[in-house]
C-alpha cells in the first residue's frame, strides 16, 4: 500500500456546468491523497491534512486539473499534420491513405504508437479514443505501448472494405479480426475496445451489418466513427443512401446509434438527427481545430444544447492541428462564438476532461479527480510563456483558465501524472 499526498491548487469540473451549478470544484490550497493509483481523499489542505499527520507532502508547482481526455484522435496521422491544400475527401486520398498504408509494417506501427503516446502525455492527455488503421497490428502496437505506460486508451481496428487498394478489409475479415482483437485485449490494463467503421463511405452495407453484430455481441465495446463532417462528404452519403432521412439515419438503420456510440464532428446535423442522438444517448466528439483546418465548418453548440446532446472534445490529429486539449478548448470557444454561443472556460475544461470521459463511458474512472477515481492529473504552468504570465498575473480563476486555453500548448503542461506517478515532466525535454 502506497499513500502519496500532493498539495496544490486543485480544479475539476466533473459535470456539465451548463446544467449543474455545483459542477466546479476548486480548492485554492488543496490536498490530493492517492493510494495505489486511486484518489482516496481530496479537499482543503488545512482541513484534510490532520487525517494524514506524519506523512510527507509533495508540493505541486501549478494548477492541478484532471488528465485530459481526447475523445477523437488518429495516431497513424500524427506525421501528416499540416498537409496542405485539400478538404476532407481529397485530403484523405492525397495525404492520409498513403500514410496509413505504411502501418501494414508492425515495426512502423510500434514506433509511431510510442511517439504518439509520448506526445499525448507531454500535452497532458492521459486517456483517448483513438483511430488506428485497417491493420489489426496497428491496434496491437498501440495497446502494447499504452499498456507499458498504464494509460487509459480505447481503440479498435478500422473497418473499411470500400477503402482504396492496399487499405481494404472485407466484411468477414473485419469481423473476424475485430473479434480476435477484442478477445486478445479484453480486461488488460486500462484498455478498451471500439468497433470502428471509418465512415459511411468506406464500408459496404454488409460491413455495417457486421459492425452492429459486433456491438450487439460485446456489450463492453464502443462504436466509433465519423459523422457529417464536410459538405462534400455529406453530399456523397446522401447520394449513396437516398432513402435515409439524413447522415445519422444511415448509421441508425444499421443499428449503430446507441448510448455507446461516439460520432466525430457532427458539423452538418439536421435537428432530427440531434433529437435522435439525444434520445439514443449517443454523442459527438467536437473537433474544432480539424474543422477549421479542413474548411469543414463550425460546430453548432446552440443546436446541440437545445437537444441536450452529449458532447466531448477531440483533437482529431492529423486533420486537427494541435495535440493540446487546452488549445483545442480555446479553438472550441472561437468556433462556438462564430455561431453566437459563448463557451464558458469551465465548460470547455469539462468537455476536455469529464465530458469526453462520459462520452467514452469511462467517467466513473477518470475525468473528475474525485475520490474513487484514478489519479490521472496535470500540473499546469500559467507562467509558461512571458505573455501567459503577464495575462494571468492577478487575474481571477476563470480568466486564468481562459488565458491558458487561448494561449496554451505543451509548454503549459509542467507535469503529467498517470495513476499517481509522474509520467511526463517538462524538465525531461
Question: Least distance to Zn ion from the beta carbon of 339, Å?
Answer: 21
> How far is residue 273's CA from residue 247's CA, in Å, rounded to a whole number?
8
Show Cβ contacts of residue 324 under 8 Å, excluding neighbours closer than 6 positions: 123, 124, 315, 408, 409, 410, 412, 413
CB-CB contact of 283 with 308 (8 Å): no
Q: Of residues 42, 95, 190, 226, which one binds ligand GUN by CB under 6 A?
A: 226
- Residues between 60 and 79 that touch ligand GUN (CB under 6 A): 74
Residue from 330, 296, 314 nearest 409 by CA: 330
Question: Least distance to ligand GUN from the beta carbon of 78, Å?
Answer: 12
Question: Least distance to Zn ion from the beta carbon of 351, Å?
Answer: 17
Angle formed at CA 353 by CA 110 and CA 377, multiple of 5 degrees:
70
In the list ligand GUN, Zn ion, none, the entry touching 199 (Cβ below 5 to 8 angstroms by class) is: ligand GUN
Query: Looking at beta carbons only, is 161 or 229 nearer to ligand GUN?
Result: 229
Question: Least distance to ligand GUN from the beta carbon of 292, Å?
Answer: 12
> How far is residue 161's CA from residue 255's CA, in Å, rounded to a whole number?
18
Show Cβ contacts of residue 347 under 8 Å, excluding neighbours closer than 6 positions: 13, 16, 17, 18
Query: Looking at beta carbons only, is 88 or 277 nearer to ligand GUN?
Result: 88
Query: Looking at beta carbons only, is 316 or 410 nearer to Zn ion?
Result: 316
Which range of residues in 57-65, 300-308, 311-319, 361-369 is near Zn ion by CB under 5 A?
311-319
Q: Does 88 bind ligand GUN (CB under 6 A)?
A: yes
Which range of residues in 88-96, 114-122, 139-147, 421-429 is near ligand GUN by CB under 6 A?
88-96
Angle formed at CA 336 by CA 381 and CA 263, multiple of 5 degrees:
90
Query: Looking at beta carbons only, is 178 or 290 nearer to ligand GUN?
Result: 290
In the list ligand GUN, Zn ion, none, the entry touching 327 (Cβ below 5 to 8 angstroms by class) is: none
Residue 183: how many other CB atoms lie within 10 Å? 10
Beta strands in 251-354 (DSSP E): 261-265, 283-286, 310-313
Parallel/antiparallel/unpaired status of strands 413-418 and 310-313: unpaired
327 sits in which H/E element: helix 325-338
Question: Least distance to Zn ion from the beta carbon of 234, Å?
Answer: 15
Q: Does 224 bind ligand GUN (CB under 6 A)?
A: no
Q: Does 350 bind ligand GUN (CB under 6 A)?
A: no
Parallel/antiparallel/unpaired status of strands 192-197 and 152-155: parallel
Q: Does 233 bind Zn ion (CB under 5 A)?
A: no
CB-CB contact of 263 with 227 (8 Å): yes
Name the grid cell of 296.
469543414
Residue from 331, 334, 329, 268 nearest 304 by CA: 268
Q: Does 376 bind ligand GUN (CB under 6 A)?
A: no
Q: Does 316 bind Zn ion (CB under 5 A)?
A: yes
Parallel/antiparallel/unpaired status of strands 413-418 and 421-425: antiparallel
Q: Does 161 bind ligand GUN (CB under 6 A)?
A: no
DSSP one-letter code for 199: -
Q: Does 203 bind ligand GUN (CB under 6 A)?
A: no
Q: Of residues 133, 138, 210, 290, which one binds ligand GUN by CB under 6 A?
A: 290
Q: Does 112 bind ligand GUN (CB under 6 A)?
A: no
Q: Of residues 116, 193, 199, 241, which one binds ligand GUN by CB under 6 A?
A: 199
Q: Of residues 70, 177, 229, 374, which one binds ligand GUN by CB under 6 A?
A: 229
Q: How far is CA 151 from CA 9, 69, 144, 323, 416, in A?
A: 24, 11, 10, 16, 11
Q: Of residues 123, 149, 190, 198, which one binds ligand GUN by CB under 6 A?
A: 198
Name the grid cell of 246.
439524413
Q: Does 175 bind ligand GUN (CB under 6 A)?
A: no
- Which residues does residue 377 pair with via DSSP β-bridges, in sequence order? 66, 417
CB-CB contact of 299 with 84 (8 Å): no
- Residues between 297 and 316 that touch ligand GUN (CB under 6 A): 316
> How far is residue 271's CA from residue 284's CA, in Å, rounded to a whole number?
14
Q: Does 96 bind ligand GUN (CB under 6 A)?
A: yes
Which range of residues in 6-14, 54-62, 263-271, 274-282 is near Zn ion by CB under 5 A?
263-271
Q: Does 158 bind ligand GUN (CB under 6 A)?
A: no
Q: Which residues bind Zn ion (CB under 5 A)?
A: 264, 316
Q: Which residues bind ligand GUN (CB under 6 A)?
A: 74, 88, 92, 96, 198-199, 226, 229, 290, 316, 319
Amino acid at each position: 500500500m502506497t499513500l502519496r499526498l500532493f498539495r496544490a491548487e486543485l480544479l475539476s469540473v466533473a459535470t456539465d456546468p451548463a446544467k449543474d451549478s455545483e459542477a466546479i470544484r476548486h480548492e485554492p490550497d488543496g490536498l490530493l491523497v492517492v493510494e495505489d493509483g486511486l484518489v482516496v481523499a481530496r479537499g482543503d489542505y488545512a482541513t484534510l491534512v490532520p487525517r494524514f499527520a506524519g506523512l510527507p507532502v509533495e508540493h505541486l508547482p501549478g494548477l492541478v486539473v484532471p488528465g485530459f481526455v481526447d475523445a477523437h484522435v488518429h495516431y497513424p496521422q500524427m506525421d501528416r499534420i499540416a498537409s496542405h491544400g485539400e478538404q476532407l475527401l481529397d485530403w484523405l486520398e492525397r495525404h492520409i491513405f498513403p500514410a496509413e498504408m505504411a502501418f501494414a509494417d508492425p515495426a512502423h506501427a510500434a514506433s509511431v504508437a510510442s511517439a504518439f503516446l509520448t506526445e499525448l502525455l507531454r500535452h497532458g492527455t492521459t486517456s483517448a479514443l483513438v483511430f488506428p488503421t485497417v491493420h489489426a497490428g496497428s491496434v496491437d502496437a498501440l495497446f502494447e505501448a499504452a499498456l507499458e505506460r498504464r494509460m487509459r486508451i480505447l481503440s479498435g481496428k478500422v473497418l473499411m472494405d470500400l477503402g482504396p487498394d492496399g487499405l481494404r478489409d472485407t466484411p468477414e475479415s473485419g469481423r473476424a479480426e475485430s473479434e480476435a482483437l477484442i478477445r486478445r485485449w479484453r480486461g488488460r490494463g486500462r484498455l478498451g475496445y471500439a468497433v470502428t467503421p471509418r465512415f459511411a463511405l468506406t464500408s459496404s452495407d454488409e460491413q455495417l451489418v457486421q459492425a452492429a453484430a459486433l456491438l450487439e455481441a460485446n456489450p463492453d465495446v464502443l462504436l466509433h466513427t465519423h459523422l457529417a463532417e464536410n459538405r462534400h462528404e455529406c453530399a456523397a452519403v446522401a447520394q449513396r443512401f437516398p432513402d435515409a432521412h439524413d447522415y445519422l439515419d444511415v448509421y441508425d438503420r444499421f443499428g449503430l446509434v446507441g448510448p455507446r456510440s461516439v460520432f466525430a464532428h457532427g458539423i452538418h446535423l439536421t435537428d432530427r438527427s440531434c433529437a435522435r442522438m439525444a434520445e439514443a444517448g449517443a454523442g459527438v466528439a467536437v473537433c474544432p481545430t480539424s474543422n477549421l483546418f479542413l474548411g469543414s465548418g463550425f460546430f453548432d453548440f446552440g443546436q446541440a444544447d437545445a437537444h441536450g446532446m452529449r458532447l466531448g472534445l477531440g483533437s482529431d490529429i492529423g486533420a486537427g492541428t494541435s495535440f493540446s486539449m487546452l488549445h483545442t478548448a480555446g479553438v472550441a470557444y472561437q468556433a462556438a462564438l462564430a455561431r453566437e454561443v459563448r463557451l464558458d472556460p469551465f465548460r470547455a475544461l469539462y468537455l476536455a476532461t469529464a465530458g469526453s470521459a462520459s462520452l467514452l463511458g469511462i467517467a466513473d474512472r477518470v475525468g473528475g479527480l474525485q475520490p474513487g477515481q484514478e489519479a490521472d492529473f496535470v500540473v499546469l504552468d500559467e507562467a509558461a510563456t512571458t505573455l501567459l504570465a503577464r495575462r494571468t498575473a492577478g487575474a481571477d480563476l476563470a480568466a486564468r483558465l481562459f488565458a491558458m486555453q487561448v494561449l496554451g500548448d505543451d509548454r503549459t503542461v509542467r507535469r503529467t501524472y498517470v495513476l499517481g506517478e509522474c509520467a511526463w515532466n517538462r524538465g525531461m525535454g
